[in-house]
């Protein structure tokens, strides 16, 4: 059995390096970015590569073909969310109650559109929703 013992150490080193480089300039944001960057590179790139190449003895392209729609939709909706935040929320929010109001109005709408996009663009969410036949019939029309 093959164990990937170096992934955790690499993640730690990457986390510390990014954190120590960014924390003096960005504060807590730099510390959080260190964690995000380290987890991103290990979980998104290294672990699938290791699993497919060493464990399953297949090309990692199989993984990327299956996951590409999910990552692309996530990137698209992240961009849309940031655009909404910059164009709609930030110019109009002056207080915590107005922030809560805009969040209450925009978040459910964005999540509903993201859900529908995943449902129609991928098979994984279709299989998940199919466990609830009434919801599946409603969405599959």
| Residue range 2-52, pLDDT digits in tens | 678 889 899 999 999 999 999 999 999 999 999 999 999 999 999 999 999
13 with 33, same domain: the answer is: yes
68 with 131, same domain: the answer is: yes
Residue 38: Cβ-neighbour burial (10 angstroms; 0-12, 13-18, 19+)? buried
91 with 140, same domain: the answer is: yes
Distances, alpha carbon 67 to alpha carbons 7, 43, 54, in Å = 21, 13, 19
Give the range of the structural domain holding residue 109, as residue numbers without chain letter.
Answer: 61-141
Estimate the share of the chain in helix, then strand, then coil, as percent rounded to the nearest 5: 85, 0, 15
- Range with the poorest average pLDDT among 8-17, 65-74, 121-130: 121-130
12 with 42, same domain: the answer is: yes
Last residue within a domain, chosen from 13, 43, 58:
58
72 with 133, same domain: the answer is: yes
43 with 72, same domain: the answer is: no
pTM: 0.75
Phi, then psi, of 123 in degrees rounded to 5: -90, -25
């Amino acid at each position: 059995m093959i164990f990937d013992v170096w992934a955790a150490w690499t993640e730690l080193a990457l986390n510390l390096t990014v954190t120590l480089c960014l924390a003096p300039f960005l504060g807590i944001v730099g510390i959080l970015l260190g964690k995000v960057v380290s987890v991103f590179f290990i979980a998104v790139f290294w672990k699938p590569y290791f699993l497919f190449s060493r464990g399953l003895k297949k090309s990692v392209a199989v993984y990327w073909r299956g996951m590409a729609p999910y990552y692309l939709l996530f990137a698209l909706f992240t961009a849309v969310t940031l655009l909404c935040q910059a164009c709609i929320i930030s110019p109009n929010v002056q207080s915590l109650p107005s922030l809560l109001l805009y969040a209450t109005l925009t978040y459910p709408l964005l999540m509903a559109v993201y859900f529908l996009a995943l449902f129609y663009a991928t098979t994984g969410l279709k299989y998940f929703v199919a466990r609830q036949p009434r919801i599946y019939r409603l969405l599959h029309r």
